[in-house]
Amino acid sequence: MRAHRSRSPLSAPPTLPWNHPRQRLSQKKYWLVAATINSLPDQLWVEIMSRLPVKSLLRCKCVQKPWCRLIDTLIHDRTFVTKHLNSSIDRPSLYIRSYDVSRRVRNSFVTICNENGDNAHLDTVIEDFDLSPFRQQYHMSFLGSHCNGIMCISVLRQNIVLLCNPALREFKLITGSCLGPRRRIDQT
């Protein structure tokens, strides 16, 4: 009796435009690569996916439906999320709030990568982080704290806190927080 193994994400390769000028693999080579990827153990898939930046991981959902199902399963699995978070700690990022020439606020994340281990060459990736749906409604300030990739942003003069996961572009508005509204200090 053979052990049943779950299907890997490339079990049914997508239909590709083989005559497209950017397509470099012949159909035969593509199937060879697909067969090799299909033979990878599930643990190796999880290891590979845990090392990808979140943005790349979410892009992989668009490859085909089995990949989308796999990644949806992974991002809701606590073990995978912990593994991914631990690997991303090695890639520190900074939140930067700046103003452009027209005085518009720009929120950005700068990720610093040191792939080869020496400090002679550091790669950086800058991504815009759009808070415009909330910025139009509230005057926000960065509270100055984050934990496990979740940022905490306070809304001035109101009893509201915004928790956001910049990697997944997810937000949670919390009203009635314990912080209380910000009050002015009497200078007299």
Does 37 lie in the same domain as 79? yes
10 found inside a domain = no
Q: How far apart are CA 11 and CA 37, in angstroms?
A: 9
Are 122 and 161 found together in one domain? no
Q: Return mean pLDDT, the chain.
A: 65
Express each pLDDT in 79-102 by its tens digit. 888 888 777 766 666 666 666 677
Domain extent for 173: 131-183
- Asked, for residue 27, whether it belongs to a domain, the answer is no
Higher pLDDT, 164 or 140: 164
Number of domains in the chain: 3
On whether the CB atoms of residues 156 and 183 are closer than 8 A, the answer is no
* Residue at 55 is within a domain: yes
Same domain, 39 and 81: yes
CA distance 115 to 173: 36
The answer to whether residues 83 and 97 belong to one domain is no
User: In terms of domains, do 72 and 99 share one?
Assistant: no
Q: Do 82 and 97 fall within a single domain?
A: no
83 and 95 housed in the same domain: no
Closest CA to 52 of 96, 113, 110, 8: 113
pLDDT digits (tens, 9 = 90+) for 18-59: 444 445 556 666 666 565 666 777 788 788 888 887 778 888
Q: How far is CA 34 from CA 18, 40, 88, 172, in A?
A: 15, 10, 28, 40
Q: Is residue 59 part of a domain?
A: yes
pLDDT at 20: 47
Same domain for 50 and 79: yes
Residue 65 lies in a domain: yes
Residues 137 and 158 in one domain: yes
